[in-house]
Amino acid sequence: MHVDLALVYTPVGGGHKAAALATAEAARARGLRVALVDAFEHAPSWATEAYLAAHFGGQGLAPAVYGYMYDASNTRGATEAPLRRGFDHAVFGGLARAVADLAPRAVVATHHLPLLVLGRARRKGRLDAPLVGVVTDYGAHACWAERGVDAWAVACPEAARDLARHGVDLHRVRLTGIPVRPAFETCAPVEVPAAGEPLRVLVTSGGFGVGPLERILRSFGGVPGVELTVVCGASASIRAKVEREVERSRLAAEVVGFERDMPSRMAAAHVVVGKAGGLTVSEALTAGRALVLVGAVPGQEKINEAYVAAARAGVAAEPGDVGEVVVGLRAAVSALGARGRRAVLSRSADRVVDVALALRAETLRGTRAA
């Protein structure tokens, strides 16, 4: 099988896959052949389960510990530890073979883990396609600065400076934005609700535990002039608990499960409430919607939260205060949304494809010159 672009992601949170899917959509719109590769499908099931349990368990049950580990490992020395690298190469060794078998013109990875084995394959000559790492947050941890990567795509200058501190040549860093679906750009600018018009609030549940989500909903109890839409994802149990809380708190709310058309949901909202994941933040900013961020975990989520605050495109809130905070933003939603759009780049997914294809062209020119 021969493809133009191999897009490699992991299921560590939905954002890495969403970024890969957005890039795939942009590439296919140009007529390019695309292969989507889940890195964990090329690792033993026990390793996948252990990695996901450690990641989500650390974020949900011990966020302070997660933040400490994030900071402690944020050096090239920590990421170059021989034991860690040897383990990851052994576990994910099949990924490099699977990607090479696709004979891609270029490879794009939207999570740092694949870069370890793909970068090594690139250095050893077992992968002749240029490799692009897409940093999916507004800062770049040292784990992104893998050897063998040809270029990095980042959201903002702050992330580029992080990579430079970790030894990456800034000439190999491209400012593209975090790739989101083009449909988010077509959302009409949000207007301040007219007198008597409800404030429409979209609550995205991704990353929230049931407890925080219930507290968020409870915070809207007795708050007038608000209509909620709550997207629960694929979990039937979370949806059932949300529906019970909506009934108990007597909320004007629509509860939905997995949502395939999130751009339309955002287009219908004045305010988006969610976790500070890189893709949630990027999609809302691109759509021009005011953000209320809840429960940011120390590490990349706090960095994303700080980026939104610096752009004056949203605010942070505790779960029990969300209702009051959202109502206080009513008169500011248009200004917040406009500033959010200015804080992100347009055509982010197309820009990532541009980087990958340009690297391929450079590789071919170098081969012919040699």
Domain that holds residue 288: 183-342
In order, the DSSP letters of 4-58 are SEEEEE--SSHHHHHHHHHHHHHHHHTT--EEEEEGGGGS-HHHHHHHHHHHHHH
- Looking at residue 305, its pLDDT comes to 97
Angle at 292 between CA 289 and CA 296, to 5 degrees: 130
- Looking at residue 50, its pLDDT comes to 66
Are 229 and 291 found together in one domain? yes
- Looking at residue 83, its pLDDT comes to 45
- Looking at residue 245, its pLDDT comes to 93
Are 133 and 193 found together in one domain? no
Instruction: Pick the most confident of 5-9, 38-42, 121-125, 293-297.
Output: 5-9
Residues 332, 339 contacting (CB under 8 angstroms): no
Question: Is residue 368's pLDDT more than 50?
Answer: no
Of 68-72, 278-282, 341-345, least confident by mean pLDDT is 68-72
User: pLDDT by residue (tens digit) across 199-212?
Assistant: 999 999 876 655 68
Angle at 211 between CA 207 and CA 213, to 5 degrees: 55
Are 86 and 151 found together in one domain? yes
* Domains held by the chain: number: 2
Of 50-54, 152-156, 182-186, 238-242, least confident by mean pLDDT is 50-54
Which CATH number covers residue 226?
A: 3.40.50.2000
- Looking at residue 248, its pLDDT comes to 93
Question: Is residue 288's pLDDT more than 50?
Answer: yes
Are 69 and 138 found together in one domain? yes
Query: Residue 352 to residues 27, 152, 265, 358: CA-CA distances in angstroms?
Result: 9, 9, 25, 10
Are 204 and 123 found together in one domain? no
Residues 124, 100 contacting (CB under 8 angstroms): no
Query: Quick one: which of 316, 288, 321 has its CA closest to 302?
Result: 316
Estimate to the nearest angstrom the gap between the alpha carbon of 56 and the chain centroid: 15
Neighbouring C-beta atoms of residue 170, cutoff 10 Å:
11
Question: Is residue 84's pLDDT more than 80?
Answer: no
The dihedral through the CA atoms of 200, 231, 138, 209 has a sign that is positive
Are 144 and 241 found together in one domain? no
Token digits for 67? Answer: 């933040």
Are 143 and 165 found together in one domain? yes
Query: Quick one: which of 85, 89, 82, 154 has its CA closest to 121?
Result: 89
- Looking at residue 369, its pLDDT comes to 45
- 3-state SS class at 174: strand
Confidence of residue 12 (pLDDT cuts 50, 70, 90): confident
- Looking at residue 200, its pLDDT comes to 98
Confidence of residue 259 (pLDDT cuts 50, 70, 90): confident
d(CA 36, CA 13): 16
Confidence of residue 79 (pLDDT cuts 50, 70, 90): low
Region 156-183: what's the mean pLDDT? 97
The dihedral through the CA atoms of 325, 334, 188, 300 has a sign that is negative
Are 12 and 108 found together in one domain? yes
Question: Is residue 57's pLDDT more than 60?
Answer: no
Are 100 and 208 found together in one domain? no
- Looking at residue 260, its pLDDT comes to 86
User: pLDDT by residue (tens digit) across 89-142?
Assistant: 567 778 999 999 999 999 999 999 899 999 999 999 999 999 999 999 999 999
Region 341-348: what's the mean pLDDT? 98
Question: Is residue 228's pLDDT more than 50?
Answer: yes
Question: Is residue 71's pLDDT more than 90?
Answer: no
For the chain, how big is the Rg over CA atoms in Å?
Answer: 21
What are the start-end ranges of the H helices in 102-235? 112-123, 157-165, 210-218
Question: Is residue 76's pLDDT more than 90?
Answer: no
- 3-state SS class at 294: strand
What are the start-end ranges of the H helices in 45-149? 45-61, 63-72, 76-79, 82-101, 112-123
- Looking at residue 233, its pLDDT comes to 83
Question: Is residue 24's pLDDT more than 90?
Answer: yes
Are 145 and 26 found together in one domain? yes
Are 27 and 157 found together in one domain? yes
Are 124 and 15 found together in one domain? yes
d(CA 316, CA 280): 14
Query: Residue 115 to residues 7, 59, 68, 92: CA-CA distances in angstroms?
Result: 12, 23, 23, 11
End-to-end CA distance of the chain: 27
Q: What is the mean pLDDT of the chain?
A: 89
Token digits for 168? Answer: 């990456």
Residues 15, 278 contacting (CB under 8 angstroms): yes
Could you identify the residue written with the tokens 């700080």?
306
For 142, which DSSP code?
G
d(CA 152, CA 154): 6
